[in-house]
C-alpha cells in the first residue's frame, strides 16, 4: 500500500501565511522508521493505565469500567476507563454550562490561541500519538500519520477560520447606520465521535466546538477512548479552562442517549453509523421540558462508496486507486471504496490486475507496519465474515475471503466479483476489507449503479474523457467526488468533507463553512447619531 495518503507539502511557517497541510513522514527513510519504532516502544510501556472521567476539571472514578483492547492482540489492554452513566449527565452538563458563561465571552484570539498551542504540542509528539493509534485501533504507520496530521490540520485550520469569521461583515451598510454581523456560540454541545478516526474526527468536532466559544460533553467510542483521553490531557496542558471539555466515555444507549435528550444540550456533533445517526436525529427533534431551542444536529453517517472505471481509463492507475481505497485501514473508512463499477470491455483485465495487486497486501501487526492490521473488534469481524459468506452466494470470491489465523481480528483483503446491482453486498455498508466488483454496460449504466444507494458520501471516476468527467461532476450524487484518483484521503482545506442523503447532513468538515454549524448569526443595526 502507499506510504502516504496525499502528496507531501512542506510547512513554511506556523500560524501565519497561507494554511499548509501537515507533512507526512516517509518511512522509507530509516531515521523516520527508527523514531517510529522508538515511539511504539515508549507507548507500549504505558499500556494498561487507568484513566478517569474529567468533569469540570475534576477526576471522577466509577464502578463500571471500559477496557480498550488492542485489536491485533486482544489479550493486551490499551487502557482502562471509567464508564459514565446516566448519573454523570447532570454533573457534566452543570460543569459545561458554568464554563460556557466565561468561555463564550472569551475573545476569539484566546480561543484560536488554545488551538494553535494544541497543534504545536501534538506536532512536537506526533509519533507518540501515532503509536497510540497503532495499538488502540490497529492503524499502520502511514494511516496513523494521516490521522494525527489531520488533527494538527484541524487545529490550524479551525483557529484561522474562527479569526476569519470574527471579521465577518454585512453585505451592505445602510446610510445612517452601523451594521454588523456576529457569529456567536450556541451553548453546550454533545460530541460523539467514532473509533475509525479516533483522533482526527474526535478532535475535529471538539476543536470546532470550542474555538467557536461552545463547551462540550465528549463521549468517545468505547473502542477508542484512550486516544481521546490523551487528547483531553493535551487540552489541559495547553491551558484549556476547566469544564470547557468534559471527558465522559460511556455507553451510547445510556449516557449518550441521556446527553442527546437533555433539554440543555444545544447541538449534537456525531459521526458513525446510519442507524445511530438517525436515532440521534429523532431524539434531538423531541422538545424536552424547559427546552427553548431546536437542537442542531451535525451528522456524518457513512457510505457505500463507488469507484467507476471507464473503458478508456488508465487501468493500472485505476487498479492502484481501487486497492488503496478499498483496503487502506482494513476498509474501515466511511470514504472507503466498497464498490468498483467497471466497464464490461475491460472487466476481465481489471479483475486480473486487481487480484494480483491485492494479493501483495501484507496482513499483520501494524506495530511492525504491515499494510493491513486487524479489524476493530470481534463483533465487527464476525459481521464482515458474514458478508463474505453472502458474497460467496451472490458473487465470486477471486481473492481472500478468510480470517487470518492467530489471536487478532485479522481478515484477508477480499475481492468479490460478479456482484449484482441492488444485492445486499452492493447496497449495505460493510465497513471492512471487502470489495464488490460490478460489471457495467457503459458509463451511463455505471453512474446509474453508483447513484442507486441510500448513501452519497464519496466516489471516484477513472476516465480520460473530458465529457464523462463533466457528467460525473454534474450527475454523480456524492459530497466528495474525485477524478482519476482514489476516493479516500480527503485533505483539510482542499476537500471539505461530508455527504448527501443517508451519508449525513453534508457538514463539510475541514471546509470554510464548517464553523457556521457551531455558531448562530446575530445581525446588529445601530443608528448613527
**What DSSP state is assigned to residue 465?**
-
Q: Count H helices, E strands: the chain?
A: 15, 21
Q: What is the dihedral of CA 105, 284, 193, 328, to 10 degrees?
A: -130
Catalytic residue IDs: 300, 334
Which parts of 287-419 fold into alpha helices (H)? 315-327, 347-358, 378-394
CA distance 399 to 422: 22
- Count CB atoms within 10 A of the CB of residue 292: 7
HSE on the CB side for 178, CA within 13 Å?
3
d(CA 227, CA 194): 12
- What CA–CA distance (Å, rounded) separates 375 from 472? 33
Those residues whose C-beta lies under 8 Å from the C-beta of residue 282, and which sit 6 or more positions away, are none
Distances (CA, A) of 108 to 87, 163, 267, 299, 364: 33, 6, 20, 25, 46
Q: Which residues pair with 334 in a beta bridge?
A: none
Cβ-based neighbours of 353, under 8 Å, separated by 6 or more: 315, 316, 319
Q: Which set of grid coordinates corresponds to residue 109?
A: 484570539
Amino acid at each position: 500500500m502507499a506510504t502516504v495518503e496525499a502528496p507531501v507539502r512542506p510547512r513554511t511557517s506556523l500560524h501565519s501565511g497561507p494554511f499548509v497541510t501537515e507533512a507526512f513522514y516517509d518511512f522509507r527513510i530509516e531515521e523516520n522508521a527508527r523514531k517510529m519504532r522508538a515511539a511504539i516502544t515508549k507507548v507500549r510501556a504505558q499500556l494498561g493505565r487507568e484513566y478517569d472521567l474529567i468533569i469540570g476539571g475534576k477526576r471522577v472514578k466509577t464502578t463500571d469500567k471500559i477496557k480498550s483492547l488492542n485489536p491485533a492482540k486482544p489479550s493486551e489492554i490499551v487502557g482502562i476507563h471509567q464508564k459514565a452513566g446516566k448519573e454523570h449527565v447532570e454533573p457534566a452538563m452543570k460543569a459545561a454550562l458554568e464554563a460556557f458563561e466565561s468561555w463564550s465571552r472569551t475573545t476569539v484570539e484566546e480561543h484560536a490561541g488554545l488551538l494553535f498551542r494544541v497543534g504545536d504540542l501534538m506536532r512536537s509528539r506526533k509519533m507518540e500519538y501515532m503509536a497510540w493509534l497503532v495499538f488502540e485501533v490497529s492503524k499502520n504507520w502511514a494511516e496513523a500519520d494521516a490521522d494525527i496530521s489531520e488533527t494538527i490540520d484541524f487545529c490550524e485550520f479551525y483557529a484561522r477560520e474562527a479569526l476569519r469569521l470574527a471579521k465577518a461583515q454585512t453585505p451592505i451598510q445602510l446610510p445612517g447606520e452601523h451594521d454588523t454581523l456576529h457569529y456567536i456560540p450556541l451553548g453546550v454541545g454533545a460530541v460523539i465521535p467514532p473509533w475509525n478516526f479516533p483522533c482526527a474526527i474526535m478532535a475535529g468536532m471538539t476543536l470546532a466546538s470550542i474555538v467557536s466559544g461552545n463547551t462540550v460533553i465528549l463521549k468517545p467510542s468505547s473502542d477508542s477512548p484512550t486516544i481521546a483521553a490523551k487528547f483531553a490531557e493535551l487540552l489541559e496542558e495547553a491551558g484549556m479552562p476547566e469544564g470547557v471539555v468534559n471527558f465522559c466515555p460511556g455507553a451510547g444507549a445510556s449516557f449518550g442517549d441521556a446527553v442527546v435528550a437533555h433539554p440543555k444540550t444545544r447541538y449534537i456533533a456525531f459521526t458513525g453509523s446510519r442507524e445511530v445517526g438517525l436515532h440521534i436525529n429523532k431524539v434531538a427533534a423531541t422538545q424536552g421540558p424547559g427546552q427553548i431551542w431546536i437542537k442542531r444536529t451535525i451528522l456524518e453517517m457513512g457510505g457505500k462508496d463507488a469507484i467507476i472505471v471507464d473503458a478508456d481509463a488508465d487501468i493500472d492507475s485505476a487498479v492502484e486507486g481501487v486497492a488503496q481505497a478499498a483496503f487502506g485501514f482494513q476498509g474501515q473508512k466511511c470514504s472507503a471504496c466498497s464498490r468498483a463499477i467497471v466497464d464490461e470491455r475491460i472487466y476481465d483485465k481489471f479483475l486480473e490486475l486487481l487480484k494480483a495487486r491485492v494479493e501483495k497486501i501484507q496482513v499483520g501487526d501494524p506495530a511492525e507496519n504491515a499494510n493491513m492490521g486487524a479489524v476493530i473488534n470481534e463483533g465487527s469481524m464476525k459481521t464482515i465474515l458474514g458478508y463474505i459468506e453472502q458474497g460467496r452466494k451472490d458473487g465470486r470470491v477471486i481473492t481472500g475471503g478468510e480470517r487470518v489465523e492467530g489471536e487478532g481480528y485479522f481478515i484477508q483483503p477480499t475481492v468479490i466479483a460478479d456482484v449484482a446491482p441492488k444485492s445486499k453486498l452492493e447496497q449495505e455498508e460493510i465497513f471492512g476489507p471487502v470489495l464488490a466488483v460490478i460489471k457495467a454496460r457503459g458509463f451511463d449504466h455505471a453512474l446509474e449503479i453508483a447513484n442507486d444507494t441510500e448513501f452519497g458520501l464519496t466516489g471516484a471516476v477513472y476516465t480520460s474523457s473530458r465529457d464523462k468527467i463533466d457528467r460525473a461532476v454534474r450527475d454523480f450524487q456524492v459530497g466528495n467526488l474525485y477524478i482519476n484518483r482514489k476516493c479516500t484521503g480527503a485533505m483539510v482545506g482542499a476537500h471539505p468533507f461530508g455527504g448527501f442523503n443517508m451519508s449525513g447532513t453534508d457538514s463539510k468538515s475541514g471546509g470554510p463553512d464548517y464553523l457556521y454549524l457551531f455558531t448562530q448569526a446575530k445581525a446588529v443595526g445601530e443608528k448613527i447619531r
